[in-house]
Amino acid sequence: MSQTRLEKRFADLKEEGRGGLVTFVTAGDPDFETSLEIVKGLPEAGADVIELGMPFSDPMADGPAIQASSLRALRNGMTLSKTLDLVRAFRQDNQDTPIILMGYYNPIYIYGVDKFLVDAKEAGVDGFIIVDLPPEHDEEFCIPTLEQGLHFIRLTTPTTVGDRLPKVLNNTSGFVYYVSILGITGTAAASDSAIHDAVARLKAETDLPVAVGFGIRTPEQAANVATVADAAVVGSAIIDTLKENLDDDNQAKPGLSQAVLEYVRTLADGVRGSRT
Amino acid sequence: MTTPNSYMNGPDERGHFGIFGGRYVAETLMPLILEVEKAYNAAKADPSFQKDYDYYAKHYVGRPSPLYFAERLTRELGGAKIYFKRDELNHTGSHKANNVLGQILLARRMGKKRIIAETGAGQHGVATATFCALFNLPCVVYMGATDIARQAPNVFRMKLLGAEVISVESGTGTLKDAMNDALRDWVTNVEETFYIIGTAAGPHPYPVMVRDFQSIIGREAKEQMYEAEGRLPDQLVACIGGGSNAIGLFHPFLDDKDVAITGVEAAGFGVKTDKHAASLTGGKPGVLHGNRTFLLQDDDGQIQDAHSISAGLDYPGIGPEHSWLHDIGRVNYASASDSEALEAFQMLSKVEGIIPALEPAHALAHVTKIAPEMDKDKIILMNLCGRGDKDIFTVAEALGVEI
């Protein structure tokens, strides 16, 4: 079977002998054009995998930064089908960097699962992280996703222990996303040793790459995580940089996307330097 | 769709009522929710749990609540006999105590050290703060900023009882946003915290657990009705936000096919406007707060803001069992507007000397529509699920009165 774009990316990282950088931004934040500019610039700035948030009005697992980011996008007219437009526009010049859509189930349910999977695949999406679909609901979206040849990436957490872990890993594909803390996005960071132990625990149960996220804010933290895990995920800290470049009406100030990409570059430098 | 032999068997072991219900939550919460379910099943099977519940229900909450024949109101409306189940006479002033008592006993059984809750009108928050005081547990209540402004008496009550009230500024600052933040707290403090959900919604087992604790309303009413009239009522009426008082009254009657059942949603400015809270009348199925149910939402699946003069009904969703009962047609769902509820609120105060909460005033508004059309030998049983002291400021403002 041929490798998917996501599998190839992690295989290449392994060959290069370094951990990867997964960056999260919300599609359409603060507006469609600026967001597209950022996403288009991410690979060159050093993002190995792009995680793109599908805005939702009630993001229960997210902290204030990502909540606000979702609402900014929605207020400026973002929709699920425009998120797919954004991916489509990105794919015009980039065939190598995987895009994972992350979000909540309701907008997909309303769009229609089958139609959504067809449209997302056509647009160039590689996989999904859907926060509120645990294995108990695999038949709804996870299994149809796998049948389309797309990835369904599951979150595992510090509470995923005992016989829960195999259940969560089953039907997970592409990589495993380890949520390093109990809580919402953008809050405290876990200690290096806790992350190290958790990754080891996961590696004993799966051959899939492990990415670690929640609470990673600095190039140093990203670098540390990338030494023990296959990739570090950074989200809220990127969104915070974006927010610093908004005017009082939450519109983009000149130079916003450059500032965001510059910050991503520092993260990427950290990650790339980590295993030399 | 086939008609089930019994309407009382749901949910299935995965928490589904037909296509509704389920557990759509983040993985961090899954082990906890499974733990709550396991503990609840064990508690249900343990006679000592029921004994504790009955003790506090009788001596602390004041159950059974009376069944009251509203004679003047009946005469005034000139049709069916109207009975009230007086759950507004419970300690803390609403049906919320029935559920909080059950959940806090469960939390104690599970060894949890901290209680959190969301609240809209503040009734559930007050009930939770009350039982936390009784059992000496720290209590954090999430409440939308908008609701804090319009339910000041309850906010002060919660603080007197020793609870910490956290103002939720996100979204519209109402019940749904309070629930989002309570869920965020829970994923952050999973080990020691028990989340007492106030309505018959959320991830399984909450809808069934809340229903079971609230069903004491319907069980008592059934017995009291036989005593008073020697028969069952012809029509049940209750208001619906999330729907816990309604499911509590309805559930024991679901298989009594001669009993017509009506839930009354909040129509706000009218269900044809964009300012209402009638999820069944104006919404469609979707997934929010851990369950699939009818939701107010736009074409992109974004949740819309609900509106009702009653903070307790101001929620864009509804408990999954109601969605199912609506779908299969066992329960009829109607609605009453802000102004109809206001009128009913004033009417009951004057005619029966009972100031109802704005929530059951919606149920009463429906009663005033149907009772005159029914024969005098018919019986309506309405759940008077809360008292109106907390609402006098809202009502005064709506009537343009300064107090």
The string of DSSP codes covering B51-88 is HHHHHHIIIII-PSPPEEE-HHHHHHHTSSEEEEE-GG
A182 contacts B187? CB cut-off 8 A: yes
- Kindly state the helix (H) or strand (E) to which residue B212 belongs, with its residue range: helix B206-214
Is residue B2, in this structure, part of any structural domain at all? no
Q: How many CB pairs under 8 A join A and B?
A: 111
- Residue with more model confidence, B3 or B167: B167
Same domain, B131 and B178: yes
Whole-number Å distance between alpha carbons of B339 and A149: 54
Chain B residue nearest residue A157, CA to CA: B28
Q: Could you count the other beta carbons within 10 Å of the beta carbon of residue B18?
A: 18
> Which chain B residues have a beta carbon less than 8 Å from that of A55?
302
Same domain, B353 and B228: yes
Mean pLDDT (whole number) for A78-101: 98
Mean pLDDT (whole number) for B340-357: 98
pLDDT value at residue A191: 84
Q: Which of A71, A106, A178 to mutate to test the interface with B (most CBs of B within 10 A)?
A: A106
Whole-number Å distance between alpha carbons of A181 and A184: 8
How does residue A88 score in pLDDT terms, banded at 50, 70 and 90? very high
Same domain, B258 and B384: yes
pLDDT value at residue A181: 83
Chain B residue nearest residue A163, CA to CA: B31
How does residue A276 score in pLDDT terms, banded at 50, 70 and 90? low
Is residue B121, in this structure, part of any structural domain at all? yes
Of B23, B287, B297, Cβ closest to residue A136: B23
> Which chain A residues have a beta carbon less than 8 Å from that of B183?
60
B27 contacts A155? CB cut-off 8 A: yes
Same domain, B35 and B87: no
Among residues of chain A, what percentage have pLDDT more than 70? 99
Is residue B103, in this structure, part of any structural domain at all? yes
**Using the 8-state DSSP alphabet, how is residue A31 labeled?**
-
User: pLDDT by residue (tens digit) across B227-270?
Assistant: 999 999 999 999 999 999 999 999 999 999 999 999 999 999 99
Of B25, B191, B297, Cβ closest to residue A132: B25
Calculate the average pLDDT of chain B.
Answer: 95
**Using the 8-state DSSP alphabet, how is residue B2 labeled?**
P
Chain A residue nearest residue B190, CA to CA: A182
Chain A residue nearest residue B289, CA to CA: A60
User: pLDDT by residue (tens digit) across B86-125?
Assistant: 999 999 999 999 999 999 999 999 999 999 999 988 999 9
Same domain, B193 and B267: no
Q: Give yes or no for A119 touching B (CB within 8 A).
A: no
* A residues 206-245 lying closer than 8 A (beta carbon) to B: none
Q: Could you count the other beta carbons within 10 Å of the beta carbon of residue B347?
A: 18
ipTM of the complex: 0.94
Domain hosting residue B237, numbered range: 62-93+215-398
Chain A residue nearest residue B291, CA to CA: A132
The total number of structural domains in chain B stands at 2
> Which chain A residues have a beta carbon less than 8 Å from that of B287?
104-106, 109, 132
B301 contacts A106? CB cut-off 8 A: yes
Domain end marker among B210, B226, B247: B210
> Which chain B residues have a beta carbon less than 8 Å from that of A138?
none
Whole-number Å distance between alpha carbons of B142 and B148: 10
Same domain, B112 and B129: yes
Same domain, B36 and B165: yes
Of B180, B189, B295, Cβ closest to residue A60: B180
Return the active site residues of A: 51, 62
Chain A residue nearest residue B293, CA to CA: A106
Write the CATH number for B228: 3.40.50.1100
Q: Identify whether the C-beta of residue B190 lies closer than 8 Å to the C-beta of residue B28.
A: yes
Task: Assess whether pLDDT exceeds 70 at residue B3.
Answer: no
Q: B342 CA to chain A: closest CA distance, Å?
A: 31
Is residue B343, in this structure, part of any structural domain at all? yes
Q: Give yes or no for A144 touching B (CB within 8 A).
A: no
Q: Which of A54, A60, A105, A177 to mutate to test the interface with B (most CBs of B within 10 A)?
A: A60
In chain A, how many H helices and how many E strands?
12, 9
> Which chain A residues have a beta carbon less than 8 Å from that of B187?
61, 182-184
A159 contacts B31? CB cut-off 8 A: yes
Joined tokens for residue A230: 């296959």
User: pLDDT by residue (tens digit) across B24-81?
Assistant: 999 988 999 999 999 999 999 999 999 999 999 999 999 999 999 999 999 999 999 9
B297 contacts A110? CB cut-off 8 A: yes
Q: A45 CA to chain B: closest CA distance, Å?
A: 31
Of B38, B80, B55, nearest in space to B377 by CA: B80
Domain end marker among B210, B225, B255: B210
Q: Which residues of B touch A (CB under 8 A)?
A: 14, 22-28, 30-32, 170-171, 176, 180, 183-184, 187-191, 286-290, 295, 297, 299-303
pLDDT value at residue B187: 87
pLDDT value at residue A185: 76
B289 contacts A60? CB cut-off 8 A: yes
Under 8 Å CB-to-CB from A135, ≥6 apart: which residues? Answer: A142, A154, A167, A168, A170, A171
Q: Give yes or no for A60 touching B (CB within 8 A).
A: yes
CA angle, B85 then B88 then B92, to 5°: 145
> Which chain A residues have a beta carbon less than 8 Å from that of B27?
134, 154-157, 159-160, 168, 179
Mean pLDDT (whole number) for B301-320: 92
Q: Give yes or no for A182 touching B (CB within 8 A).
A: yes
Whole-number Å distance between alpha carbons of A54 and B76: 55
Which amino acid is located at B141 in the chain?
Answer: V
How does residue A1 score in pLDDT terms, banded at 50, 70 and 90? low
Calculate the average pLDDT of chain A.
Answer: 94
Q: Which of A104, A136, A163, A185 to mutate to test the interface with B (most CBs of B within 10 A)?
A: A136
pLDDT value at residue A189: 75
Same domain, B107 and B197: yes
Which amino acid is located at B117 in the chain?
Answer: A
Same domain, B156 and B235: no
Joined tokens for residue A31: 């507006």
Domain end marker among B141, B176, B210: B210
Is residue B141, in this structure, part of any structural domain at all? yes
pLDDT value at residue B2: 56
Among A189-193, B166-170, B267-271, top mean pLDDT goes to B267-271
Same domain, B247 and B274: yes
Whole-number Å distance between alpha carbons of B33 and B205: 7
Q: Which residue has the tokens 């908004």?
A: A246
Q: Give yes or no for A132 touching B (CB within 8 A).
A: yes
Q: Give yes or no for A106 touching B (CB within 8 A).
A: yes
Same domain, B234 and B286: yes
User: pLDDT by residue (tens digit) across A15-49?
Assistant: 999 999 999 999 999 999 999 999 999 999 999 99
Mean pLDDT (whole number) for B169-175: 81
Domains and CATH numbers, chain A: 5-273 (3.20.20.70)
> Which chain A residues have a beta carbon less than 8 Å from that of B33?
none
Is residue B17, in this structure, part of any structural domain at all? no
> Which chain B residues have a beta carbon less than 8 Å from that of A109?
286-287, 301
* Residue A276 buriedness (CB in 10 A; 0-12 / 13-18 / 19+): exposed
What are phi and psi for residue A130, nearest 5 degrees? Answer: -115, 110
SS3 of residue B368 by DSSP: helix
How does residue B153 score in pLDDT terms, banded at 50, 70 and 90? confident
Q: Identify whether the C-beta of residue A90 lies closer than 8 Å to the C-beta of residue A124.
A: yes
Each residue of B170-196: b (16+ CB within 10 Å) or e?
bbbbbbbbbbbbbbbbbbbbbeebbbb
Joined tokens for residue A204: 């004993």
Chain A residue nearest residue B176, CA to CA: A58
pLDDT value at residue A180: 87
Same domain, B102 and B188: yes
A179 contacts B22? CB cut-off 8 A: no
A80 contacts B301? CB cut-off 8 A: yes
Task: Assess whether pLDDT exceeds 60 at residue A104.
Answer: yes
